Amino acid sequence: MFAAGAPQRYILINAGALAVGVTVATLIRRFKVRDSSFAGAPTIAIGLLLLTTALFGVRIEGASRWVVLAGISLQPSLILLPVAMVHFASDRSWRSSIGLAIASIGVGLQPDRAMTGTLAAGLCALWLQRREPPVAVAFFIALSAFAATWLSADAVAPVSFVEQVVQSAFAFHMVTGLAVLAGLATMLVPAAVGARSREREVFVVFGATWLAVIAFAIVGNYPTPLVGYGSSAILGYCLSAAMLQP
């Protein structure tokens, strides 16, 4: 981003988000919830937060996907949905399924075609591994929400250094474009490393979720994770990666 002329503020915000993400991720890995009565609660809370964003978030060109904290625009779905997906892969309870159903409705109402598609992709990967009723129901609702987002055009215009980063990088210089692709590929390394672990489905869902985020960023006007400007994807990646247990 710096080489392509991005404002220095963008780079500092990304660096700050990375520092916060790594710090919180370290705490998450040390924290264990032993009481089974909490099972499903994090996913339900995430679903309600995303629904609240759809109803009361910052609205831009008909879409309500953002909140503003301390002057920084955040996209809660990019932070929370990957976390919810990884959590559900290891806790496939009905309560977690309900939480993801609420999340699907929330991102569908925002509307956010990329994140509903990401949710559907992650749940499809999980369903192929674990064909259980809670997984099937959550997958069907996510797929329905994704289909609903196609009923209207996505009119949100791209922002420099946020969306269309891969195309812009190659337009700037071939080496820059390859560096951006290498950065995106690096995001999938944990999924590849853990694909043969005892909880294989958790790593598969993690990989499918972030691969979908990357794919939508390349084909549409959606935030490019990590290599583009935006703290939300950085926080979401750190937090979801912290929940992986080899």
In a domain, 1, yes or no: no
- What is the CA angle 114-18-196, rounded to 5? 65
> Do residues 210 and 237 make contact, with C-beta atoms less than 8 angstroms apart?
yes
Amino acid identity for residue 153 in this structure: A
Q: Which domain holds residue 88?
A: 8-242
What contacts 150, CB < 8 A, 6 or more positions away?
A: 113
End-to-end CA distance of the chain: 33
Global pTM reads 0.93
Q: What's the pLDDT at 117?
A: 97
Assess if residue 160 is contained within a domain. Answer: yes
Look at residue 84 and tell me if it is in a domain.
yes
Mean pLDDT by 10 residues, the chain (246 residues): 80 93 89 60 94 94 91 93 94 94 96 96 96 97 96 86 91 90 95 86 96 95 92 96 84
Residue 215 Cα to chain centre, angstroms: 12
Domain count, the chain: 1
What does the angle CA 132 – CA 136 – CA 141 come to, to the nearest 5 degrees?
155
- CA separation for the pair 60, 217 (Å, rounded): 18
Contact status, residue 224 vs residue 162, Cβ threshold 8 Å:
yes
Look at residue 2 and tell me if it is in a domain: no
DSSP assigned state of 157: P
CB 40 within 8 A of CB 98: yes
- Give yes or no for a contact between 188 and 207, defined as CB atoms under 8 angstroms apart: yes
